[in-house]
Amino acid sequence: MKKGTLFIISGPSGTGKGTICKRLLEADPDLRLSVSVTTRAPREGEVDGREYFFITREQYLELLESGGLLEHASVYGEKMYGTPREPVVNWLEQGLDVILEIDVQGAFQVRENYPECVLIFILPPSMEELRNRILGRGSETEETMAARLGEAQREIDLSERYDHRVVNGDLEQAVTEVQQIIRSERTKR
């Protein structure tokens, strides 16, 4: 049976990649979204098992050491994120396409093991717009904001190594562009 394709979607937080992924899933029954584990605290409105599995540092280390993570990264210092291996491998085996919404460190780790995966980077229209979007979310202090913008610039610099880059200025247009990429990658395989 034909295996599914692994798509990785990255982009600085605030670029709207979460919204784009949500729209992709609603429109396509053959896509699955991997839910990551994280040691960071839930934001308002986030539900355990939906946006993330919120776990303790001890649980995270246990998963990591037992080989349960496909990739993992520490983002913004001490907070850890990782992709549970089992659901992703099972979906791909079943022929379903899978999206990982992860950062660039994680994306390059996955590409080592799955060189056929497709890397898509979502860019903000400008750094100014990115700052406004993060501010609008209201969950940042001056310090975490500076860290997020610094991290955003580093990620944008590395995005040259991605297969596709999509600017999210207009949401509908960005969703359509990513859908076209997914369609064309599927027909290639």
Rule CB under 6 A: which residues touch ligand 5GP? 10, 13, 36, 40, 71, 73, 75, 81-83, 101-103, 105-106
Kindly state the smallest distance separating residue 1's Cβ from ligand 5GP, in Å: 27
Kindly state the smallest distance separating residue 61's Cβ from ligand 5GP, in Å: 15
- For ligand 5GP, give the closer residue by CB, 5 or 36: 36
- For ligand 5GP, give the closer residue by CB, 1 or 142: 142
- For ligand 5GP, give the closer residue by CB, 4 or 106: 106
- For ligand 5GP, give the closer residue by CB, 101 or 185: 101
- Taking CB atoms, the residue at the shortest distance from ligand 5GP is 106
Contacts of 11 (CB under 8 A, 6+ apart): 17, 121, 122, 123, 124, 155, 159, 168
Q: Is 74 helix (H, G, I), strand (E, B) or coil?
A: strand
Kindly state the smallest distance separating residue 171's Cβ from ligand 5GP, in Å: 18
Kindly state the smallest distance separating residue 187's Cβ from ligand 5GP, in Å: 27
DSSP assignment of 83-131 equals EEHHHHHHHHHTT-EEEEE--HHHHHHHHHH-TT-EEEEEEPS-HHHHH
CA distances in angstroms from 65 to 35, 69, 80, 111, listed in the order given? 19, 9, 14, 21
